[in-house]
């Protein structure tokens, strides 16, 4: 079964969060996952943290049937 699911009900609770200077590096250049091609134009903010993340079941937006 293939479904498009909206996870709007997830809950993110920060445990500890830091901000500061940063750099962005794409180490794995792959044609299978070509995200590296986008490349940042500028870095606006850097945030690092640890969080508790609760993912509820969500809501099915579209059901594509069985495949």
- pLDDT at residue 18 in the model: 95
Does the pTM exceed 0.85?
Answer: no
Q: Identify the residue with better confidence: 50 or 38.
A: 50
Residue 67's pLDDT band, with cuts at 50, 70 and 90, is low
On the question of pLDDT at 29 being above 90, the answer is no
How far is it, in rounded angstroms, from Cα 2 to Cα 26? 31
Please report, in angstroms and rounded to a whole number, the separation of the first and last CA atoms in the chain: 6
Tell me which DSSP letter residue 31 carries. S
How far is it, in rounded angstroms, from Cα 23 to Cα 3? 36
Q: Where are the chain's structural domains? A: 3-63
């Amino acid at each position: 079964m293939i479904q498009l699911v909206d996870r709007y009900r997830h809950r993110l609770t920060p445990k500890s969060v830091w901000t500061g200077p940063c750099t962005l590096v794409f180490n794995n250049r792959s044609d299978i996952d070509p995200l590296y091609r986008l490349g940042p134009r500028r870095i606006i903010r850097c945030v690092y943290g640890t969080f508790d993340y609760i993912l509820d079941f969500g809501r099915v937006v579209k059901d594509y049937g069985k495949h």
